[in-house]
Amino acid sequence: MAPGERIGHSIGDFIGRSDGGFIGHFIGGEWVPAESARSYRKRSPWSGEVVADVAAGDGEDARRAIAVAHEAFESWAGAQPWRRQQIFLRAADVLERRRDEVLDSLAVETGCGRVFGEVQVDFALKLLRQAAQLGYRPIGELLPSDVAGGRAAAIRRPVGVVGAIAPWNASLTLAGRAVIGPLALGNTVVLKPSEESPYTGGALWAEILQEAGLPPGAFNVVTHAPGEAGAVGDALLVSRLVKRINFTGSTPTGRRLAEKAGTYLKRVVLQLSGQNPLIVTDDADVGYAVDAAAYGAFVHQGQVCMCARRIYVERPLAEEFTTRFAAKVATLPTGDPSDPATVVGPVINEWALALLDRRVNEAVELGARVLAGGVPAPPCYPATVLVDVPDEAEIAQGETFGPVVIVEAVDSAEEAVARANESDLGLAASIITDDVRRGLRLASRLEAGIVHVNDQPVNDEPQMPFGGVKDSGWGRFGLGFAAEEFCELQWVTVRDQDREFPF
């Protein structure tokens, strides 16, 4: 099917149907195939059915999109705030109208169940509605100057073309976050979605923004085949027309990107992996701690960068917590993500399933005990609780993306903070305690970009300074902070009298 053949339909009308659909690049307001005419088949992680044939783009396609975005920049940057505001408010209405169909597409394309699907749609709606007022924020400051008759200003201006690289795991939210803030500030965007979410993390945003009236060229999407992200990513990095890159993904990929960006002196915003601790003090309400930990570790089958990976429990509560937690986890329903009762749906692909299996088995060989789960049920991996995991086990290091959590008893929450801080990563953390003042003291010692006291770590709101420290990334997403990342400050002066020059 050629891209133009579905004019009048959403690609979503075809997602998961036996006749499939074709997802082209979205460049200059048009759906186009790859220059090379190549495509790949995206399959559903749950059913294995073809979701769509997708344009397999390369550097050539990316350069085409960059040129178009560059051309569209001046006009979009100059659009009056009320016009931009209308577009984002309309986009929110379009998404709201399409909510059920978007939830279905998230389940079919990425295995995302209802609970996390609703979280994603709600975030995206708030993102659009908050972005609608960004155009009315003050754009700079007047500064006192020591020059006689001089006036000085710091004026914030959009940078130009922003390259956005997003992952599959919270496809709608993370692609939206990569795109909407930069657009609302007057930039134009080329988005490279993950090969696992070309629709809900790419084409769907194009459909929504196009229907809302975004001018052609302001937003563009270039897709690519599995294993071929590098060609599109490199084109974004190398092009002098692309002024910023924002990237959400794993630390190894982000590190490679930052190394290359250094060569081109390109500023990047990176939100990378997490090894997120959840600390339970001995005065905590055990029932609440168990429920919070189960959600924090297993929402979206543990495939969220903020998911709790290690639970530290102060020793007096450790046995009771662990017993009740493992009992709850063992009952979490696993299976079809479209079934509202399912908690643990499929993991994204066979590679991810094999990695989880290998790392859990390695931990067990090194002495770990499995208290729940631990046996794959393809295409799912059940919610799994491990104890006695030695530090040298791979699963105790870095980030393993999936429904596996480690529980560890500690002598004190302070010891837990020290253990958590040993990690190279520092994205999100949480503390469950009856003593809020102690919780805040512990929070201030945690090396993490985000800390929640009396909650689990999976939380996001569009206005918050979302981001990590250490190897979890640079910079902050969040609309209130986007101007720091996606604008340039220009120093402008004017004098109301001539100056005397020394020669």
The residues binding ligand ADP (CB under 6 A) are 165-169, 192, 194-195, 229-230, 233, 249-250, 253, 256-257
Question: CB of residue 98 vs ligand ADP: minimum separation in angstroms?
Answer: 23
Query: How far is residue 241's CA from residue 235's CA, in Å, rounded to a whole number?
Result: 10
- Cα-flanking dihedrals φ and ψ of residue 283, to 5°? -100, 5
Residue 356 vs 443, nearer CB to ligand ADP? 356
Cβ-based nearer residue to ligand ADP, 124 or 416: 124
In 53-203, which ranges are continuous DSSP H helix?
59-77, 81-97, 99-110, 114-131, 171-184
As measured in angstroms, the least distance from the Cβ of 96 to ligand ADP is: 27
User: Any idea what the Cα angle at residue 171 is, between residues 113 and 197, rounded to 5°?
Assistant: 95
In 3-state terms, what secondary structure has residue 491?
strand
Residue 257 sits at φ, ψ, to 5 deg, of -65, -45
3 versus 193: smaller Cβ distance to ligand ADP: 193
Distant-in-sequence, close-in-space partners of 475: CB < 8 Å, separation ≥ 6: 246, 268, 269, 270, 271, 467, 484, 485
Spatial separation of the C-alpha atoms in residues 350 and 378, rounded to whole Å: 8
Q: Provide the 3-class DSSP secondary structure of residue 64.
A: helix
Instruction: Identify which of residues 76 and 116 has a Cβ nearer to ligand ADP in the complex.
Output: 116
Q: How far is the CB of 441 from ligand ADP (least distance, A)?
A: 34
Closest CB to ligand ADP among residues 169, 322: 169
- Which C-beta is closer to ligand ADP: that of 28 or that of 249? 249
Give the nearer residue to ligand ADP in terms of CB position, either 229 or 364: 229
The nearest distance, CB 355 to ligand ADP, in angstroms, is 10
Residue nearest to ligand ADP (CB): 233
- Which C-beta is closer to ligand ADP: that of 10 or that of 223? 223
In the bound state with ligand ADP, the residue whose beta carbon lies nearer, of 88 and 168, is 168
- Give kind and range of the element (H or E) at residue 479: helix 479-486
Least distance (Å) between residue 57 CB and ligand ADP: 12
Tell me the closest approach of the beta carbon of residue 260 to ligand ADP, in angstroms: 8
Q: Are strands 50-55 and 22-23 parallel, antiparallel or unpaired?
A: parallel
Smaller CB separation from ligand ADP, 36 or 75: 36
Selection from 290, 318, 470 nearest residue 398 by Cα: 470
Scored b (16 or more CB within 10 A) or e, 421-443 reads eebebbbbbbbbbeeeebbeebb
CA dihedral over 73, 77, 78, 81, signed as positive or negative? positive
CB of 256 to ligand ADP, least distance (A): 6
Name every residue whose Cβ is closer than 8 Å to that of residue 485 and which is 6 or more positions away in sequence: 244, 246, 267, 269, 475, 476, 477
Backbone angles phi, psi at 68, to 5 degrees: -65, -45
The answer to whether the beta carbons of residues 309 and 274 sit under 8 Å apart is yes
Minimum CB distance to ligand ADP smaller for 257 or for 406 = 257
Helix axis angle for 413-421 and 436-445, nearest 10°, is 20
Separation between Cα atoms, residue 375 and residue 384, nearest integer Å: 9
Q: Which residue, among 484, 440, 487, has the nearest Cα to 466 in the 3D structure?
A: 484
Nearest approach in angstroms of CB 169 to ligand ADP is 6
- With CA atoms as reference, report the closest residue to 218 among 77, 32, 72, 24: 72
Shortest gap between Cβ of 173 and ligand ADP (angstroms)? 13
Q: Which is nearer to ligand ADP, 40 or 76 (CB)?
A: 40
The Cα 267–Cα 198 span in angstroms is: 25
Strand partners, 277: 310
Question: Cβ of residue 230: shortest distance to ligand ADP, in angstroms?
Answer: 4
In the complex, the smallest distance separating the C-beta of residue 8 from ligand ADP, rounded to whole angstroms, is 29
- Identify the residue whose tokens are 């469950």: 432
User: Considering the complex, what minimum distance in angstroms separates the CB of residue 194 from ligand ADP?
Assistant: 4
Whichever of 233 and 296 has its CB closer to ligand ADP, that residue is 233
Q: Smallest gap, in angstroms, from Cβ of residue 117 to ligand ADP? A: 18
Look at the block and give the residue holding tokens 């979701």: 51
